[in-house]
Each structure stands twice: as C-alpha cells, then as structure tokens.
Amino acid sequence: MELLQLEYFQTVARLQHMTKAAEELQIAQPSLSKTISRLEEDLGVPLFDRTGRQIRLNAYGEAFLARVQRAFVELNEGKREIRDLARLNEDIVTLAVSTPRILPGLLGAFLASHPDVRFRQFFESAPEMKRQIENGEVDFCISSAAIEGIDIEWRPLLTEEIFLIVPSNHPLAVRESIRLAEVKDEPFISMNAGYEFRELTDRLCREAGFVPHIHFAGDEPDVIAGLVQQGLGVAFVPALTWLEWPRRASHRLRIEEPACQRQLGIAWSERRYFSTAAERFRVFAFAYFRDVAKRLVREFG
DNA sequence: TGACGACCTGCAGTTGTGCA
DNA sequence: TGCACAACTGCAGGTCGTCA
C-alpha cells in the first residue's frame, strides 16, 4: 500500500467518478483504474460497487476512507511540526552558565544585532554542564571552571580580578589594597556553598592561611552588596560585577596576596552540529569578552 | 571499502480498443 | 459515454561487478 494509492482513492471516493478523478489528478483514466484495483487487491476487498458505468463507494470503502482521511491529517500535521521544529532549531541557541550575572550584557548585546534568535538558558554546576554538553542538550556552556572531556573544547573568554569590598566606614576603607590574610578575623558575607565562585573564594582564603567566618550566605550578589553596605561584613566581588553595580556605597580593595583572579571560559562539543545562530553566537561571545577585557583594563588598570 | 557504471526489475503512466 | 484490459514506454531503485 502506497501513499499515492491512498491519495488517488480519496479523490475517486470524493468524486465517485473514475474519469473526473483522473482529470483532477492529471493522469490517464486507465492508470487510475489500475491503481484503485491494486489497492483493492492489497486490502482483499472491493472499495467500490461497480454497476454498469457507475462506481459507488461501498461499506468497506466508507470505513477505509475515514481511516485514510485521518491518516492524511496526521501526516500533514507531522510535516508541519517537523518544518516548524527545523526552523525553530535554526534560531535557538541553548546555553548553560554557572555565572548568570554575565548574561544580561552578553545576550542583550547579541540580541541587539540578531533579534530573531531565541535563547534557552540553564543555570548549572560544572559537572552538570559537562553532562549536558556530552549528551548534546546544550550548544555552549559558560563557566568559571574549565570543562574537560572527550570531544569537549574549552576556550578562555575573560580573566577578571576579584576584589574585596568593605563598608565605607570600615577601618580598611582608607586603604587601596590589602593582603587577604589581614581580613582573616572579619565576618564574611558570601555566596551559598555549591556556587563555583564560593568554591573559588574559599580556596583563596585557604591559600591565605585561614577559613572564612561566613556570617551570611546567599544567592544574590546584590543582597550581598547591600549587607556589606549595612556594615554586616566584608565580601569578595568579581571585577565585572563591581563595574555593573549602580551604587557603590562600599569600598573596593585590591587583594595583593594571593593573586585573586577567575577565568571565564566557553565550552562546546566538537561533535555537535551548530546552527547558523549558534555559530554566530560563538564568534560574538569571543568579540564581546575582548571588549569587556579592554573595559576592565581601562577601569582597574 | 566506497564510488561508479551497467544491467535488471517493478511500477506508474499512455495509447488503443472492447464491452456494457 | 465511461470503465477496464492489453501492450508498450519511461523511470526509479536495486543488484552486481569493477576499479581506485
């Protein structure tokens, strides 16, 4: 049984006239007649009652026609769905990040020149991002920890300095820089455990010879900044985050020792096929962070 | 092992014609 | 006039052998 036979059957059933159906289908009448006969042979029953020169759909034909029409509706829906899906995937970039704070600037700048592109974004830990890349669930991962694995490419995007912020009335607020060990007894306001940034700052404190006293841990950098302004403690802040805070009632200190930096990078699977939109986003991301790096140099030297 | 061409087969379609 | 059959043509797809 073939689609062509079913298509011809629909037309003959609708017109109940072999010659008119053949004209509509733009084929010779004997060809149509033979096609319908083959279909009837396949099914093992006649679909039409033939009386003299007339053909009429019989009970088998009626029942079969209903099924055929439903099948064609399903097939047409399927075609449309696949078409939409194909077009949609062309315009969608899937992205997992461990540092969501970079997204507004990055995506905003990209969408300004590519308004038709849509993003699906996930906030994930580094191990989960690696799994997503390996399973083909995302196009790219942007992370402050290198993602390594078979067929995974990881490239650095930006190296940014990490500062310490203290309340403006804090004794250290008159200084430009400190050694991290100088604040070993200070109350710290920090990101919650599990965040890459928290793991990084804990490691930096260990390198300086102490374990920080965490008085408050949260998910929101803005809340952390607010608590520092209220005089409740000191906190680490990446250069880019500091730059984007509209009000800076707290004081920023450069950390001389140990070297406090973090590197943001982008990872993808070398096996993955990239849509045009994804390919453009990758190129754009490198250019965007080059500009950000220049801005950080201008601002912080 | 994959690419390519020659050959074969099956089927859709056409023309001509017979039958009701 | 309209349906169906026979003979034929053209084309697409499959198979097989050859070659790099």
Greatest mean pLDDT among A23-32, A49-58, A124-133, A168-177: A168-177
Confidence check: pLDDT of A243 > 90: no
pLDDT of residue A110: 94
Residue A12 has pLDDT above 70, yes or no: yes
Q: Cβ of A39 < 7 Å from strand C?
A: no
**Residue % of chain A over a pLDDT of 70:** 90
What is the reported pLDDT for A79? Answer: 66
Whole-angstrom distance, CA of residue A209 vs CA of residue A60: 87
Rounded average pLDDT over A164-168: 90
Do the domains at A3-82 and A88-157+263-300 have one common CATH topology?
no
Q: Give, in Å, how far the C1' of C4 lies from the CA of A19.
A: 12
> CA A82 to CA A298: how far, in whole Å?
49
Output A78 or A92, whichever has higher pLDDT: A92
Q: Is A117 helix (H, G, I), strand (E, B) or coil?
A: coil
Query: A30 beta carbon < 7 A from strand C?
Result: yes
Q: Is A151 helix (H, G, I), strand (E, B) or coil?
A: coil
Rounded to 5°, the CA angle A91-A95-A100 comes to 130
Q: What is the rounded average pLDDT of the residues A108-119?
A: 90
CA closest to B12 C1', residue: A31
- Sequence-distant (6+) residues with CB within 8 A of A252 are A163, A164, A165, A237, A242
Residue A83's pLDDT band, with cuts at 50, 70 and 90, is low
The residue behind tokens 């009386």 is A51
Query: What is the per-residue pLDDT across A144-155, written as a single tens digit (0 to 9) for each?
Result: 888 888 788 999
A242, A163 Cβ separation under 8 angstroms: yes
User: Is any atom of nucleic acid chain B found less than 7 Å from the CB of residue A7?
Assistant: no
Nucleotides of chain B in contact with protein CB (under 7 A) are: 12-16, 20
Considering the segment(s) A159-261 as one domain, its CATH architecture is 3-Layer(aba) Sandwich (3.40)
State how far the alpha carbon of A286 is from the alpha carbons of A75, A98, A183, A244, in Å: 43, 17, 36, 20
Global pTM?
A: 0.61
Most confident of A69-73, A94-98, A119-123, A284-288: A284-288
Better pLDDT: A257 or A288: A288
A1 Cβ nearer than 7 Å to chain B strand: no
Distant-in-sequence, close-in-space partners of A277: CB < 8 Å, separation ≥ 6: A90, A91, A92, A93, A114, A117
User: Which nucleotide comes closest to A31 if you measure CA to C1'?
Assistant: B13
Best-predicted range by mean pLDDT (A9-13, A53-57, A227-231, A245-249)? A227-231
Nearest-nucleotide field for A38 (CA, C1'): B11
For residue A131, pLDDT over 70 is answered with: yes
Q: Beta carbon of A17 within 7 Å of strand B?
A: no
Tens-place pLDDT, residues A170-185: 888 889 899 999 998 8
Q: Is CATH 1.20.1530.20 the right assignment for the domain spanning A3-82? A: no
Residue A53 has pLDDT above 70, yes or no: no
Q: What is the pLDDT of residues A13-41, one digit of tens each?
A: 877 777 777 777 777 777 777 777 777 76
Phi then psi for A257, rounded to 5 degrees? Answer: -150, 130
Average pLDDT of span A114-127: 83
Q: Where are the domains of chain A?
A: 3-82, 88-157+263-300, 159-261
In this structure, is the CB of residue A17 within 7 Å of any atom belonging to strand C? yes
Phi, psi at A53, each rounded to 5° = -90, 0
Residue from A260, A245, A258 nearest A299 by CA: A245
The predicted structure's pLDDT at residue A4: 72
What is the C-alpha separation between A167 and A252, in angstroms, rounded? 9
- Per-residue flag: A3 CB under 7 A of strand B: no
| A58 CB and strand C closer than 7 A | no
Task: Name every residue whose Cβ is closer than 8 Å to that of residue A242 and which is 6 or more positions away in sequence.
Answer: A163, A165, A248, A252
Q: Is the CB of A18 under 7 A from strand C?
A: yes
- Model confidence at A77: pLDDT above 60: yes
Q: Look at domain A88-157+263-300 and name its CATH class.
A: alpha beta
pLDDT band at A8 (very low <50, low <70, confident <90, very high): confident
Q: Is the CB of A34 under 7 A from strand B?
A: yes
Residue A193 confidence (pLDDT) above 70: yes
